[in-house]
Chains A and B, each alone.
Chain A
Amino acid sequence: MRFNIDELEVLFPYPRIYPEQYAYMCDLKRTLDAGGHCVLEMPSGTGKTVSLLSLIIAYQQNSPEKRKLIYCSRTMSEIEKALAELRQLMAFRTEQLGYEEEFRGLGLTSRKNLCLHPSVKREKSGSVVDARCRSLTAGFVKEQKEKGEDVELCIYHENLDLLEPHNLIPPGVWTLDGLLQYGEQQKQCPYFTARRMMPFCNVIIYSYHYLLDPKIAERVSRELSKDCIVVFDEAHNIDNVCIESLSIDLTEDSLRKAARGANNLDRRITEMKASDAQKLQDEYSKLVEGLRGADQAREEDQFMSNPALPDDLLKEAVPGNIRRAEHFVSFLKRFIEYLKTRMKVLHVISETPLSFLAHLKELTFIERKPLRFCAERLTSLVRTLELTNIEDYQPLQEVATFATLVATYEHGFTLILEPFESDTATVPNPVLHFTCLDAAIAIKPVFDRFSSVIITSGTISPLEMYPRMLGFTTVIQESYTMTLARKTFLPMIITRGSDQNTISTSFQVRNDPSVVRNYGNILIEFCKLTPDGVVVFFPSYLYMESIISMWQGMGILDTVWKYKLILVETPDSQETSLALETYRTACNNGRGAVLLCVARGKVSEGIDFDHHYGRAVINIGVPYQYTESRILKARLEFLRENYRIRESDFLSFDAMRHAAQCLGRVLRGKDDYGIMVLADRRFLKKRGQLPKWIQQSLPDSDTNLSVDQATAVAKAFLKGMSKAYPAHLQEGISTWDMDDLRRHQAKMAEEEIRMLRKEAEMRERERVRRRVVEDEEDEYGDMEVDYDDLVPV
């Protein structure tokens, strides 16, 4: 359908639109007009991606500057889905407009997924593919070939040079598969095609890491212009992604490998001195000038890369004492040796980067400044030495990255040395965690550089937490509810067992037989009454194991067994995918299955249980993080002192976003239905932190149920669901066709006019009164959290 949002013509590839999609688009447009950032929450399965794409494409095509869209998603499958949506949208646009727009949309993923080279693509590990690719495509390899040496080149990559550099691939939307096919036909490398075409694309779809991980972003996303529109989809975990991208763990093993790498470098330098001293001399004289001047083109074949460095540093020359290759290698060796001695300590150490640097200087005379240049200098050296087997130097690069980060950032980081894996272990296995505590550091460049950043997800409540944690200001933050013609999902909170004992997974009571039995009863009852698939989430693997073994002892599993096949998620990803496959088969035929998994595991993050794959989801316990972890403690402290977020607030926020994420797994669209059970006493107080769309269909009567009450409610719900509900009944309510939309727009316009008139009439009086009213409303609004506390039980 075609419609206008304030003069902007939007082409929407479906004949009907959901009201929340329309609202979402309006807010998006306002954000783009205002040129700021926004946080938007829209229920999963209501066509977030398509509304996003159709609005932004419309915006892009109608504006003279054609702002580029960078769409970041989390997993491969989501990237592919978005590409398919985009393709469909563009086809629709062509059909409607009657002509084909000059448009390119590309997806980028790792070499492993996009390689065509017959032997390289067979490698299993991504880093090996990267390394082998480099050995076939790097600039110096080509030089060698031209000199007549016998080296192998990748024909797919070579063919790219024969094409026009700005027209490697015809316009259109290329899915990853399409790109591979085209590459195979034309014998050109899909990966480098995508990489090189990025500046000429209208839409780029890739993973978060290409923008957030400074090590990669530097190479891939450097050339993107300032006015790009950046979208982070499924962004509820974005702070953790940011933190992970800047955190480094060093183990004894990796240090050993790094030391070996340094020795190899040493040997290579000696060899090169004997054979081709000129090259080293050239590098040296370049470094005297300054880093960036040195490598005029930071080419795409550069594999090792440096983490986020302030720009002024990059323009500065490398400090004199690591200018010479041999000096630098001995510098690295000294640093590694120092780290090794630190690892020998047998008690936990937590220190700031500053005190680490002070100690380092005292012991080894390594100054802060050369340390900052470590990563960059290593890159330069590796390029000069023309090393091909890059994967051997990975640990060394990690150490260099660590060196650079520790010397660059004084605040927002901490070093934690844990000599033992667990509290009870006696054999030391030291790990040096260099942890980023501040999610804002990694994402800051993104906010600084791009004028419009859109953060969106199905479950991103409470909205105000994200701007606070990531350090940005929003133009709009909005959460949309789901318009439903009938209630298709049933959230409820179970706080008691049938025996009226409260249930909770809080540490004191989690292993009480009564609690375990009541949880078992919930499982049995819901397995009995739900058709097809049931998904159960536990707060941790540890608790899942213990409760399963207790259930086994109580005979609960035997009962469940009568109704459903039982499958369990394990930390091993292959086992889990096998379990998932079996689960799907079981749901497709027969009585279905129950999948027991962990709220922070793989299943909870990326796997959808649409339709009959998930008719009920049961959250057993509030999925809190493991609070004894030192890294978490450090982060909590940091959040409290720098962002004024209290420990308990953050923990409960984090737990609730994971719970919401788990709940959202079963509902993937408006024609889907499912039961959402939150089984813990503590959910009662935390329900205010659930996404708005879940809260909206959670009446107070369903928030304090016992198991038998819950069963009755669920049965009634399922009965209602089993009635046929033809699509035309939804029309006008939860789906709009063109007429409905026009009517809505007219109404909105009318409303606006009325509002304006009203406002003009009684502006003065209104203003005073409204302030008072708002105050009072606020007080009521927040109240409900504590209400139950006050009623004597």
Chain B
Amino acid sequence: MSRLSLKNGAPKEISDEDQCPVCKSSRYLNRNMRFLVNPECYHKMCESCVDRLFSSGPRVCPVAGCNRTLRRQRFRPQTFEDIQIEREVDVRKRVAKVFNRREDEFDSLLDYNNYLNEVEDLTFNLIHKIDVDATEKKLKAYEEANKAAIRENEVLASQETQSLQAQEAAEKEHARLRREAALREAEEERRERAEGRLDVINQLARGEGNADEIARQGRRTLLKKSTARRVGTGDEMDTSDSAGTGLQFKGLRRRARPEPEKPFEPFGEVTVEHEYFVLKGHYAWDFLDTARTSQTYRAGGYDISEYCSRALTDAFAGLAVFVGEEQTAT
């Protein structure tokens, strides 16, 4: 740890791995000691120190020279041994959220690589605190400018991971099934063999026919069975295998962009077809003309076609109804 130091003038960490730099208690004294870090300054301290210092609200980091205010909530266990890497990964997380362009969005590989290079430069600057302000500004600007694209790619990425997980689970299940099948098969074979043997012994015991002949016969049937089974299972395995490849819809998913969302359909895509009339775009009627032109009608949301369709529906509503039928039905 000692060879690593943060460049912002934070003191070097001189403690060895098993000592809390704040309270100096070590793993020898406290066996279950856990170290936590805060992504604000990445100074590590033990759990009890965090409890002690930050339970009554935010405070300044206890490490000398580090004047950052820390909150208890943001403390978390350290993933990487190297604090530098821990920090780097946090930075990357942030950058990767914004710069999530995909290769297929670029015309050529060269462009994509240049893009990657650019992004890496930004990240590198952030990590090593070179021109932080300028870089942050760039980051912000890019984020603002490309909000939609970022969102879209996020969705894609999450879909990808999901399909990957699904595929993995399916594969695992598949493997399990095959393993079970193999076990069953072996078991069956053993059973059959034992049966065949018993059969031969029984025949021999009855003393009918030539002993050699019986033994040979027994062997032959056994072998036939086993070869038949071997062939059979081979076929079966093959089909199951092809089913396995059929399951891999990974490529498909990835290519197909999600379809643009359809407008909300209150009737669940049931469209009402008028049987007896066709709604025209224009009806020549003075009353309607006033409604069509007048600001006051339209401001209230009055829709002429709506009116027309209702009027026509009312007019034709009774056509398919026969009073006699209705009465018998009730």
Closest B residue to A338 by CB, please name it.
Answer: B80
Contacts of A646 in B (CB 8 A): 182, 186
Q: Contact partner of B88 among A330, A641, A782, A789, CB < 8 A? A: A330
Provide the residues of chain A in CB contact with B79, threshold 8 Å.
341, 363
Query: Residue of A at shortest CB range from B109?
Result: A317
Given A288-B110, A320-B118, A641-B178: A364 touches B89 (CB 8 Å cut-off): yes
CA distance A640 to B197 in the complex (A): 28
Q: Which residues of A sit under 8 angstroms from B223, Cβ to Cβ?
A: 779, 782-783, 786
Q: Does A644 count as interface, using CB distance less than 8 angstroms? A: yes
B168 and A316 form a contact (CB under 8 A): no
**A179-187, A321-329, A446-454 - interface stretch:** A321-329
Answer whether A790 and B219 are a contact pair too, CB < 8 Å, given A319-B116, A320-B113, A354-B168.
yes
Indicate whether A355 reaches chain B with its CB closer than 8 angstroms. Answer: yes
A-chain residues with CB within 8 Å of residue B204 when the two chains form the complex:
792
Residues from chain A with Cβ under 8 Å of B119 in the complex: 320-321
B222 to A786, Cβ gap below 8 A?
Answer: yes
Chain B residues with CB under 8 A of A648: 186
> Which of A322, A365, A790 meets B93, CB within 8 Å?
A365
Contacts A782-B223, A790-B200 known; A334 to B85 CB distance under 8 Å?
A: yes
Interface centre among B120, B218, B223 (most CB of A within 10 A): B120
A791 close to B (CB within 8 Å):
yes
Report the separation of the CA atoms of residues A355 and B82 in the bound assembly, to the nearest whole angstrom.
24
Q: Which residues of B contact A87 (CB under 8 A)?
A: none
- A334: which B residues are within 8 A, CB to CB? 85, 88-89
Q: Does B184 contact A (CB under 8 A)?
A: no
A330/B117 contact (C-beta < 8 A), A363-B89, A365-B89, A790-B197 known: no
Known: A317-B109, A317-B110. A789 touches B197 (CB 8 A): yes
The answer to whether A787 has its CB under 8 Å from any CB of chain B is yes
B 67-90 contacts with A by CB, 8 A: 79-82, 85, 88-89
Q: Which residues of B contact A740 (CB under 8 A)?
A: none
Taking A365-B92, A783-B219 as contacts, is the C-beta distance between A341 and B80 under 8 angstroms? yes
Residues of A within 8 Å of B116, CB to CB, are: 319-321, 323
Closest to A335 in B: B85
A427 to chain B, nearest CB (A): 16
Residues of A within 8 A of B112 (CB): 320
Q: Is residue B179 contacting chain A, with contact meaning CB distance below 8 A?
A: yes
Residue A637 at the B interface, CB < 8 A? yes
Q: A354-B164, A644-B234 are in contact. Are A324 and B120 (CB under 8 A)?
A: yes
Shortest beta-carbon distance, A236 to chain B, in Å? Answer: 25
User: CB-CB < 8 A to A786: which residues of B?
Assistant: 193, 219, 222-223
- Bound-state Cα–Cα, A641 to B218, Å: 31
* Contact, CB under 8 Å: B89 / A320: no
A287 shortest CB reach to chain B, Å: 9
In chain B, positions 263-322 with a C-beta closer than 8 Å to chain A are none
CB atoms of A337 and B164 under 8 A apart: no
Q: Which residues of A contact B82 (CB under 8 A)?
A: 333, 337
In this complex, which of B89, B117, B218 has the most chain A Cβ atoms within 10 angstroms of its Cβ? B117
B262 CB → nearest A CB, Å: 32
Q: How far is the CA of A644 from the CA of B120 in the complex (A)?
A: 46
Smallest CB gap from B157: residue in A: A361
A317 and B113 contacting across the interface, CB-CB below 8 Å: yes
Q: Let me know if B10 is at the binding interface, CB within 8 A.
A: no
Within 8 A of A (CB), among B171-223: 175, 178-179, 182, 186, 193, 197, 200-201, 204, 215, 218-220, 222-223
Chain A neighbourhood of B175, CB < 8 A? 637, 641
CB-based nearest B residue for A365: B92
Taking CB atoms and an 8 Å cut-off, the chain B residues in 113-130 that contact chain A are 113-121, 124, 127
Known A-B contacts A288-B110, A637-B179; the reply to A792 vs B201 at CB < 8 A is: yes
Report the minimal beta-carbon distance from A539 to chain B, rounded to whole angstroms: 23
A interface secondary structure, majority: helix
Q: How far is the CA of A338 from the CA of B79 in the complex (A)?
A: 9
Assembly CA distance A637 to B174 (angstroms) = 13
The verdict on A364 contacting B92 (CB below 8 Å), with A317-B110, A324-B117 known, is yes
A694 on the B face (CB < 8 A): no
Residues of B within 8 A of A358 (CB): 161, 164-165
Q: Is B247 an interface residue (CB 8 A)?
A: no
Query: Is B113 a contact of A326 with CB atoms below 8 Å?
Result: no
Contact string against B for A residues 303-321, beta-carbon threshold 8 Å, 1 for contact and 0 otherwise: 0000000000000111111
| A786 to B92 CA separation, bound complex (whole angstroms) | 64
Residue among B113, B127, B165, B237 making CB contact with A319, cutoff 8 Å: B113
The reply to whether A321 and B89 contact each other, CB–CB distance below 8 Å, is: no
Contacting pair A779 B117 (CB below 8 A): no
- Chain B residues numbered 235-259 whose CB sits less than 8 Å from any CB in chain A: 237
A24–B113 CA distance with the chains assembled, in angstroms: 56
Asked whether any CB of chain A lies closer than 8 Å to the CB of B96, the reply is yes
Nearest A residue to B88, CB-CB: A334
CB-defined contacts of A320 to chain B, threshold 8 Å: 112-120
- Taking CB atoms, residues of chain A closer than 8 Å to B109 are 316-317
Q: Is A286 an interface residue (CB 8 A)?
A: no
A630 at the interface (CB under 8 A from B): no
* Min CB–CB distance B304 → chain A (angstroms): 57
In the bound assembly, the distance between CA atoms of A323 and B112 in angstroms comes to 12
Residue A528, interface by CB 8 Å: no
A333 to B80, CA, bound (A): 11
A340 at the interface (CB under 8 A from B): yes
Query: What string of 1s and 0s marks CB contacts (under 8 Å) between A139-180 and chain B?
Result: 000000000000000000000000000000000000000000
- B121 partner residues in chain A, CB cutoff 8 A: 324, 327
The interface residues of chain B lying within 8 Å CB-to-CB of A322 are 120
Most buried by B among A321, A322, A637, A648: A321
CB-based nearest A residue for B120: A321
Q: How far is the CA of A120 from the CA of B81 in the complex (A)?
A: 40
A 26-62 contacts with B by CB, 8 A:
none
In the complex, which residue of chain A has the Cβ closest to the Cβ of B205? A792
Least Cβ–Cβ distance between A365 and chain B, in angstroms: 4
- Is the beta-carbon distance between A323 and B113 smaller than 8 angstroms? yes
User: Which residues on the B side are within 8 Å of A789 (C-beta)?
Assistant: 193, 197
Q: Min CB distance, A461 to chain B, in Å?
A: 20
In whole angstroms, what is the CA distance A644 to B241 when docked?
Answer: 12
Within 8 A of A (CB), among B89-141: 89, 92-93, 96, 109-110, 112-121, 124, 127
Determine the chain A residues whose CB is within 8 A of the CB of B120 once the complex forms.
320-324, 327
The reply to whether B92 and A340 contact each other, CB–CB distance below 8 Å, is no
A337 touches B113 (CB 8 A): no
A323–B237 alpha-carbon span in the complex (Å): 46
Residues of chain A with a CB closer than 8 A to B96's CB: 365
Which of B85, B168, B222 interacts with A333 by CB under 8 Å?
B85
Contact A340 B81, beta carbon cutoff 8 Å? yes
Residues of B within 8 A of A337 (CB): 80-82, 85
Residues on the A chain within 8 Å of B193, using CB: 786, 789
Of all chain B residues, the one with the shortest Cβ separation from A367 is: B116
Interchain CA distance A330-B87 in the complex, whole Å: 13
The answer to whether B113 touches A288 (Cβ under 8 A) is: yes
Contact B124 A330 (CB under 8 A): yes
A-chain residues with CB within 8 Å of residue B165 when the two chains form the complex: 358
- Show 12 A/B contacts (Cβ-Cβ < 8 Å), sorted by A: A319-B113, A320-B112, A320-B115, A323-B116, A330-B124, A341-B79, A341-B80, A354-B164, A354-B168, A364-B92, A637-B175, A779-B220
Known interface pairs A364-B85, A786-B193, A786-B222; 20 further A-B residue pairs with C-beta atoms within 8 A, sorted by A's residue number:
A320-B113, A322-B120, A323-B113, A323-B120, A324-B121, A327-B121, A334-B89, A337-B81, A340-B81, A354-B168, A358-B164, A363-B79, A363-B89, A364-B89, A637-B175, A637-B179, A640-B182, A779-B220, A783-B223, A792-B201
Q: Which residues of A contact B (CB under 8 A)?
A: 288, 316-324, 326-327, 330, 333-334, 337-338, 340-341, 352, 354-355, 358, 363-365, 637, 640-641, 644, 646, 648, 779, 782-783, 786-787, 789-792
Query: B residues engaging A (CB < 8 A)?
Result: 79-82, 85, 88-89, 92-93, 96, 109-110, 112-121, 124, 127, 161, 164-165, 168, 175, 178-179, 182, 186, 193, 197, 200-201, 204, 215, 218-220, 222-224, 234, 237
